Amino acid sequence: MDLGGFVTALLPSLSKSMAEQFNTFRVMHHGTHEKQLSNVFAWLLTTEATHCFGDTFRRIPLARVNTGLPLGKTLPHSGCRVVHEADTRSSDEIAAGVVMDIADIVLSRPD
């Protein structure tokens, strides 16, 4: 096939919207297990990670959460530590034998 024929054959597929079909996790072969997704989201929420997005990925969901909170009670965008697959029980709950509660992703600050 010559280049003109190649482009002509390719054009119909380029006119179709791929937006609904595209899935980043499918491309990365990620997401077949919940823990894999938690790993990816924790990485994206970590501002110092190698993705070079800084705090962009963290600001977007926190801004959405903050719209539902009263002024003065909003969550900060910075200074958070990100952990995934974390046991969220307090030391008192552990001592009392409360069943383990694992959170997929936790953002925490000392305050």
**pLDDT of amino acid 97:** 94
- Integer Cα distance of 54 and 26 in angstroms: 24
CB atoms within 10 A of CB 107: 17
| Residues 9-29, mean pLDDT to the nearest whole number | 65
- Integer Cα distance of 8 and 16 in angstroms: 14
How confident is the model over 35-61, as pLDDT tens digits? Answer: 778 888 888 899 988 988 888 888 888
| Residues 88-109, mean pLDDT to the nearest whole number | 91
How confident is the model over 1-11, as pLDDT tens digits? Answer: 555 666 667 66
Assign 95 a pLDDT band (cuts: 50, 70, 90): very high
**pLDDT of amino acid 38:** 83
